[in-house]
Chain A
Amino acid sequence: MASEHAAMLKESVADFIARGMDIGRVRKLRGTPGEYDRAVWKQMADLGWLGIAVPEAYGGMGLGLAETAIVAEGLGRALAPEPYTACAVLAATILAEGDNEPLKADVLPRIAGGDLIPAVAWQEQAGATDGAHVALAATPFEGGYRLNGTKRYVVGAAGADAYIVAGKADSGLVLGYLDRNAAGVTQALEPLADGRHFGTLALDNALVPRERVIATGDAAAAALSRALDRARAVASAELYGVMSRALEMSVDYMKTRVQFGKPIGSFQALQHRAVNLYIQQQLASATLDDSLRVLDRDPEPRQRAAIASRLKARCSDAGVRIAREAIQIHGAIGFTDEYDAGLYLKRALVLAAWLGTATQHRRRYAALALQSED
């Protein structure tokens, strides 16, 4: 059943991308504060993609990561700027993991329907890996929490309607839901290599009423941590899409570009280079398949984290390496803005940095999997 569904989904993703996701659109949107296309987002919702990570009880499909990964891979191949992983997976998962039933019933169906885009503002420092790094003050008051401080690196912030904000109270982590135009919330944007933006939120006595608290304490920490690991897996799938297309472009170019009277693909120096990249892409593919399978069985948090880290480390490294070497294989044309190879490199850089770099994830893996058993 799962594989049947996967096959259908694959087809619909491929079809959608072939019809409307050309790189010209990506170029037009880059650097604009709009950043992504609300109409495309709505079409993605109509195809059911935005509900994949949303439980059936809340208007979603309640499917596994394997299915979200199919969508993410397709979007990666097309370099779509739509913040699928950040908003439809990370944000939706946090909400679904929370214990605020009325909020879920209100918000999740609208996310699945593409009418509401929430972005997650959990991070304050570059390289943070989980809620333990959260310092933003959440001060309890009668009716909820008051938030003060700054959040950074918010993906999808440019067009978001709401934010999921992580704060720290004496009692532990607090996850709150804020409307974009809530009092005390100011957003600024920082331009990214790939033409999108990180949002920076300044919170000045922003109020999260009790009805908008997603979770607190251990439940909040568990929700955030699970959602982050799942989003890492989906971001890895997106990276896999990016690297696969970048490799195809390079191999195609090697077959057609002639120098010294021969296609450059006939030079062994480049052949071996391409084969090395192919091996990286295949390792990423195999790791992705295996990791998604394990993650969809809902392993205990420690195993889940180790798997997510192993996967993100491989895909970050392989993605950047393949895209970087694509420039080299193309020669000077690869260094131009007009040619697409550079766009692939830039998206790979951003995805590799977001939610933890390869180095950080190898470390995290070491801490999780190599620790002595006492």
Chain B
Amino acid sequence: MAEIDYNALPDADFRAMVREFVETEYPQDMRFLSRRIRMDEARPWWNKLVKKGWIAPNWPRELGGMALDPGKMVIYLEEMERHGVMRAADQGITQVGPILMKYGTDAQKDYFLERTRTGDIIWAQGYSEPNAGSDLANLQTSAVIEGDEFVINGMKIWTSFAQESTHIYLLVRTDREAKKQKGISFLLIESDLPGITIRPIRNIAGHEEFCQVFFDNVRVPRDRLVGKLNEGWTVAKALLGHERLNIGSPRRPQYALMRLEMLARAKGLMDDAGFVDRFVAIKLDLEDLASLYGRYVEQVKRGEPLGPDVSQLKIWAMEVWQQLTDLLVETGAEDGVIEGAHDVAGVELDFLAPFYYARPGTIYGGSSEVQRNILSKYVLELPS
């Protein structure tokens, strides 16, 4: 790995360096995608980042990361976002890696971290079940200890891209008697073990994005347990605050705003007071989101933990994003309901893809309703 201490660079130099790299290396036709990306499409870019030593900006140096401090990390992400770089299936980097660093055994770290970094292992998140969505702690998929093994039975659902994962990080019930959150454990397993069946589910955009995963007497060695037995809830929750910060980034709505602005200019709507009023209201909603986001970023830079109030970021980011894509479709009029990218007043635009892409933002990662419950209970301390 390169021996550069990125944190020692002046911010401006570091920014210029990241910018130069993405501008020269990132494929032009993959900028600002309005859908989630599949691993086979992401692979060439992933490999470039691996080769450069930049795939895991938040991981320590000795594990092949860039060891960026929070300030540099923000610059890195900003430059990626500014250029419209896709987010690959990076749950291994953002979720599994940090979890293993905190709770993993040495053997687990040795085996999984390097393979995750290089992309030899691709992770899927096996949390939700048919009766455990918002109420995740109600999960029923069980893992029973038999000798040196866990025997897993049950079903997961909405597992994004399980069909192209090599591994699943899994929440399972290991104690039926304990209180809901108590009897849950965190396992790392291969996606192709005997007894596992993966069925892709088509979403409303027509993509096979998420899957149902069935477990029928699936056996894994006991050393696949991360953290203590029955304490998987703590392991899984450890990263939630950061996830909400991530999802609360103004990036995705900004892509949609750019599209809307392109459309408006092409159609001459910037001279139309009625449209401009709506457009600017949403644009300012988004700029103010960026300010709010910046406040949390500062908090992270100072090394302070994130509290439950960070939920507001996710709510606002996702709701503004949806309003933007609603306005995009409506402004397109008849053109807005034609499938696929097509030419509108000389500009190539896809109206429906961003609209569909924004829909589940208020559902996954804790729905907007559930986030509001968190804010009212833990921040405003309202009685429940």
What residues make up the interface of A, taking CB atoms closer than 8 Å to B? 123, 126-127, 152-153, 190-194, 198, 258-261, 267, 269-270, 320, 324, 327-328, 331-332, 334-338, 342, 345-346, 349-350, 352-354, 356-360, 363
Contacts and interface: CB of A to CB of B under 8 A. Distances in A.
B165 interface: no
Contacts of A338: 201-202
A67 to B, nearest CB: 28
B380 interface: no
Contacts of A267: 369
B339 A331 contact: no
A92 to B, nearest CB: 22
B142 interface: no
Given A192-B337, A267-B369, A345-B204, A259 B133 contact: yes
30 contacts: A126-B336, A127-B333, A191-B338, A192-B339, A193-B337, A193-B339, A198-B338, A259-B131, A267-B369, A269-B369, A328-B362, A328-B367, A331-B367, A332-B157, A332-B210, A332-B364, A336-B201, A337-B201, A337-B202, A337-B203, A337-B206, A349-B337, A350-B337, A352-B330, A353-B329, A353-B330, A353-B332, A353-B337, A354-B337, A359-B274
Interface of B: 128, 131, 133-135, 138, 157-158, 201-204, 206, 210, 274-275, 326, 329-340, 342, 344, 352, 359-360, 362-364, 367-369, 372-373
Contacts of A153: 334
B124 to A, nearest CB: 15
B363 A349 contact: no
Contacts of B369: 267, 269-270
Given A328-B363, A335-B360, A358-B330, A190 B338 contact: yes
A342 B133 contact: no
A127 B275 CA distance: 14
Contacts of A192: 337-339
Contacts of B342: 190
Contacts of B334: 123, 126-127, 152-153, 198, 353-354
Given A193-B339, A335-B359, A350-B337, 7 more contacts: A126-B336, A127-B334, A336-B202, A337-B206, A349-B336, A353-B333, A353-B337
Nearest to B339: A191
Contacts, number: 108
6 pairs of A and B residues whose beta carbons are closest in the complex = A342-B204, A127-B333, A337-B202, A126-B333, A259-B135, A126-B334
Contacts of B372: 269
Contacts of A190: 338-339, 342
B329 to A, nearest CB: 6
Contact of B336 (A259, A335, A353, A358): A353
Contacts of B340: 191
Nearest to A352: B330
* Central interface residue in B138, B332, B339, by most chain A CB within 10 Å: B339
Nearest to B338: A190
Nearest to B208: A337
B134 A269 contact: no
Nearest to B329: A349
Given A259-B134, A332-B210, A336-B202, A357 B359 contact: no
Contact of A360 (B333, B344, B367): B333
